[in-house]
Amino acid sequence: MLIIPEAVRTLQRKLYTKAKQEPAYRFYALYDKVWRADILMHAYCLVRANKGSPGVDGMNFDDIEQKTGIDTFLLELAQDLKNKTYTPSPVRRVMIPKADGSQRPLRIPTIRDRVAQMVAKLHFEPLVELYFHADSYGYRPNKSAHQALEVTIKRCWRHDWALEFNIKGLFDNIDHQLLMKAVRKHTSYRWLLLYIERWLTAPIELEDGAIMVRKRGVPQGGVISPVLSNLFMHYAFDMWMERQFPERPFCHYADDGLVHCKDEAEAKAIKIALADRLQECGLEMHPDKSKIHLTRNMFHGEWNYRIDPRPIVG
């Protein structure tokens, strides 16, 4: 497990504390922290620990460390960030087989872009993490699918009915305009807004070398994608549930979720309302994976609630 350098930890703690104490405060003078050597090195180490395949440039970690040199690699990235000449490369698409025989796309940025995204994540995550709902469990610090399953089982003893739902193609269909509206609600960093938009719209290189323009979605494989996905779900689902159904406990792990209900009629009503809400946000409730359950069946083997902890980070 990587140890966070004290200087990086201090910066993140200050960002988190300020955002918590003064939600309306906006940080404007942090651009010089982006290319700081210790932050770039820590970002590289985090990306290195996640491993992952090369992007479109074919460069892997051995190439960087044995040929280019880590210091040279990071210095060149620092100069591009400092001079505001950094531009992300296209992401490489790889199709990953699923258990049902279908495939899902994994989009792999270059290591250079993953390091730049990690720098952005180190700055942005402390500004939004404190606002996320306690029952949002996907890809968050100190949260896990096991915790989501544990709290769901406990609630099933107290609530007879549940709506299990899945969002069809969540990561491929997140609306960029709505997402950036949410991002701007939490930061005024011009560099951060600029680069997030560039990462969202970076073209996709297909298996045959063809280039595809992306107009929706966050890349599964992008380092900053989990935070952006959670932010989108925070406003599309979590806050909506608290406004519309404040007495109904729920949890979700990325695109899989469950709402506990008092009876079947309420579960049906919430299912209809949630489907409409997701449609408003440019999303779709999966027709086959979204079902209403009598929760005691979970303990008789008729239903096994599944939370999918598949990786989103390459």
In DSSP notation, 62-122 reads HHIIIII-HHHHHHHHHHHHHTT---PPPEEEEEEE-TTS-EEEEEE--HHHHHHHHHHHH
Task: Name the pLDDT band for 310 (thresholds 50, 70, 90).
Answer: very low
Nearest Cα to 162, choosing from 270, 302, 309?
A: 270
Mean pLDDT confidence for 73-77 = 95
| Contact predicate 109/55, CB 8 Å | yes
pLDDT, greater one: 220 or 34? 220
Assess whether pLDDT exceeds 70 at residue 21: no
Task: Convert 77-93 to b/e letters by CB count within 10 Å (16 or more is b).
Answer: bbeebeeeebebebbbb
What does the pLDDT read at residue 313? Answer: 39
Assess whether pLDDT exceeds 70 at residue 139: yes
What does the pLDDT read at residue 295? Answer: 85
pLDDT averaged over the chain?
87
Question: Using CA atoms, how far apart are residues 26 and 18, in angstroms rounded to an integer?
Answer: 9
At residue 211, φ and ψ (nearest 5 deg) are: -105, 130
Count the residues in the chain.
314
Task: Name the pLDDT band for 307 (thresholds 50, 70, 90).
Answer: very low
Q: Identify the weakest region by mean pLDDT among 63-77, 81-95, 225-239, 288-302.
A: 288-302
Q: What is the pLDDT of residues 229-267, one digit of tens each?
A: 999 999 999 999 999 999 999 999 999 999 999 999 999
**What is the pTM assigned to this prediction?**
0.87
